[in-house]
C-alpha cells in the first residue's frame, strides 16, 4: 500500500482547461482600468511566466520517480498540463504585447533566462524544487486576491480579466502540488524558508525590471503621477498587496501547508460563473 503524500483536499480537482484568449486588441492600450502602472505591473508579471512555468514543470518532474502516492502522481500530471497551457498562453501574450507596444522581448526576458540557466547548472535539484514551492505559494496568494477582491478588475478589459482569472483559478487548484512533492522527498524547513526569502526578492526584481522597461518605452518612466498611482495600486486601501501579508507570512510556519488557506469556495464561484 502506498503512503499518502498528497494533501490537496479530495473535493478539489486540478482541471487542465485548454483555453485560448484573444488579447490582440486589449494589449494595444492600458487595459487595466486605463492605469499606466497597473497595466505595466500585470504585463511584467506575464513576462516572467513562460520561463518560470517551464522551470516549475522541470523541477517537479525531476522527482516523479520518487512519488508513490497515486493521487499525488495524478496531481503532478494535471499540474504539468495546466502549467503547459499557462506557458503557451503567456508566451503568446508576451509576443503580442511587444509587437503592439514596441517593447523588446529579449531585454525583458534575457536576465531571467540567464539566471534560470545558471540555476539549472549550479543549484541542487532539491533547492530548485524548494524555489518552485515558494513561488507557487506567492502566485496562489496573488491568485486569491485576484478572485476574492471583486473590485480589483473593475473597468479592466474583459478579455484580460478572463485570462488572469482563469490563470488564478488553476494556480489555486494546484497550489500544493510542488509543496507536497517537496515534503515527500524530505525537503527541509530551513531550505524551504530560505527559498521563499530569495524567491520574493527575485520575483519583485523581475517584475520591476519589466515595469521599468515598459514605462521607459512609453516615455513615462520619470512621471511622478505614474509612480504615485503605482504606490496606490500596490499599497493603497484597495491595493493589490493589501491583505496578502498574513497568507504570505504563513509559509514560514513549521506546520504550514498551502491548503490551510481554503480557497475551494473561490474556485467553485468562478466555475459557476463559467456555466
Q: Compute mean pLDDT per 10 residues along the chain, 275 residues long, and list them.
A: 84 94 97 97 98 98 97 98 98 98 98 97 98 98 91 93 97 98 97 98 98 98 98 94 96 97 94 89
pLDDT at 2: 58
| Nearest Cα to Cα of residue 130 among 180, 203, 205 | 180
- For residues 201 and 26, the answer to whether their CB atoms sit within 8 Å is no
Phi/psi of residue 21, each to 5°?
A: -125, 130
pLDDT at 253: 97
pLDDT at 134: 98
pLDDT at 33: 94
Coil, strand or helix at 67? coil
| Nearest Cα to Cα of residue 22 among 158, 156, 169 | 158
Neighbours of 78 (CB within 10 A): 17
Amino acid at each position: 500500500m502506498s503512503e499518502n503524500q498528497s494533501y490537496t483536499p479530495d473535493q478539489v480537482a486540478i482541471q487542465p482547461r485548454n483555453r485560448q484568449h484573444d488579447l490582440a486588441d486589449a494589449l494595444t492600450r492600458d487595459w487595466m482600468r486605463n492605469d499606466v502602472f497597473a497595466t505595466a505591473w500585470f504585463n511584467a508579471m506575464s513576462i516572467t511566466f513562460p520561463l518560470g512555468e517551464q522551470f516549475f514543470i522541470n523541477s517537479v518532474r525531476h522527482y516523479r520517480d520518487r512519488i508513490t502516492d497515486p493521487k499525488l502522481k495524478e496531481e503532478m500530471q494535471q499540474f504539468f498540463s495546466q502549467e503547459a497551457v499557462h506557458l503557451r498562453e503567456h508566451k503568446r501574450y508576451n509576443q503580442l504585447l511587444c509587437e503592439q507596444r514596441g517593447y523588446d522581448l529579449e531585454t525583458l526576458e534575457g536576465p531571467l533566462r540567464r539566471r534560470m540557466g545558471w540555476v539549472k547548472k549550479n543549484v541542487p535539484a532539491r533547492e530548485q524544487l524548494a524555489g518552485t514551492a515558494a513561488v507557487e505559494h506567492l502566485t496562489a496568494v496573488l491568485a486569491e486576491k485576484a478572485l476574492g477582491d471583486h473590485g480589483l478588475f473593475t473597468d479592466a478589459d474583459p478579455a484580460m480579466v478572463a485570462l488572469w482569472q482563469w490563470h488564478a483559478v488553476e494556480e489555486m487548484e494546484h497550489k500544493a502540488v510542488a509543496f507536497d512533492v517537496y515534503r515527500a522527498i524530505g525537503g527541509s524547513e530551513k531550505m524551504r524558508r530560505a527559498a521563499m526569502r530569495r524567491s520574493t526578492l527575485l520575483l519583485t526584481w523581475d517584475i520591476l525590471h519589466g515595469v521599468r522597461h515598459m514605462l521607459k518605452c512609453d516615455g513615462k518612466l520619470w512621471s511622478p503621477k505614474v509612480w504615485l498611482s503605482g504606490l496606490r495600486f500596490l499599497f493603497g486601501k484597495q491595493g493589490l498587496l493589501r491583505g496578502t501579508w498574513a497568507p504570505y507570512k504563513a509559509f514560514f510556519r513549521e506546520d504550514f501547508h498551502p491548503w490551510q488557506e481554503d480557497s475551494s469556495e473561490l474556485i467553485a464561484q468562478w466555475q459557476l460563473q463559467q456555466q
